[in-house]
Amino acid sequence: MSPRKKQRKKTPPHPLAHWFLISGATLIGIGLLLLILTFLPVISVELHYDAAQLTPKQNTDTQKPVNVQFGIVIPKIGANATIIPNVDPYDSRVYQQALTKGVAHAKGSVFPGRVGNMFLFSHSSVNFYEAMRFNSVFYLLNKLQNGDRIDIYFETTKFTYTVFESKLVDQKDVSYLMEKTNDKLLTLMTCWPPGTTFKRLIVRAKLLTN
């Protein structure tokens, strides 16, 4: 007879193995939840925009601005918000506070109707928490094309701008912030893609009236 094979003793699992397994699964679950909550507002706005394209066009001239003293209305994407004037674009504490109330007007840039560049910026929201805290009216800024209208209200006067350029730039590119020009320009900026801070989306427009 052949000698019996020695049975190998099973090594008992390490006491911490079960804890590590549960912790890992929990962390993966939390990560997936945060990912969903980060991009859910973006997806929701996109779906709403797509649905709106299937319905008959309404008279966008009847869209009432939420603030006629200083406000922005972009009929194509349904953006309608207060503009907070003279916000320091280099101080995160200052502009994050401003963005809980509306779109920020960069301190040092011109006001509507004046020669120069008026620079407005807003979050596209970094995560679901900030999506609830910060203004996200520029979610759909990428939908704007040349010729689209942007209405700025300032001290009850309406200034109409038309888009002539849209581009992605590096997050550190501040060349558009205090650009010198002899025209009456409007520059809108937001983080891109929505929910991230990888790039900056710049939309530029020129004053039509006033």
Class of domain 64-207: mainly beta
| Structural domain boundaries in the chain | 64-207
Instruction: Measure the CA dihedral 27/31/36/41, to 10°.
Output: 120
pLDDT of residue 117: 96
8 A C-beta contact, residue 147 and residue 163: yes
Residue-wise pLDDT for 96-149, tens only, equals 888 888 899 999 999 999 999 999 998 655 444 444 444 467 888 889 999 999
What residue has token string 């094979």?
A: 5
Instruction: Say how far apart CA 110 and CA 165 lie, in whole Å.
Output: 19
8 A C-beta contact, residue 151 and residue 74: yes
Instruction: Say how far apart CA 83 and CA 121 lie, in whole Å.
Output: 9
Higher pLDDT, 33 or 166: 166
Instruction: Say how far apart CA 74 and CA 144 lie, in whole Å.
Output: 9
Instruction: Say how far apart CA 29 and CA 40 lie, in whole Å.
Output: 16
CA atoms within 13 A on the CB side of 78: 13
pLDDT band of 67, cuts 50, 70, 90: very high
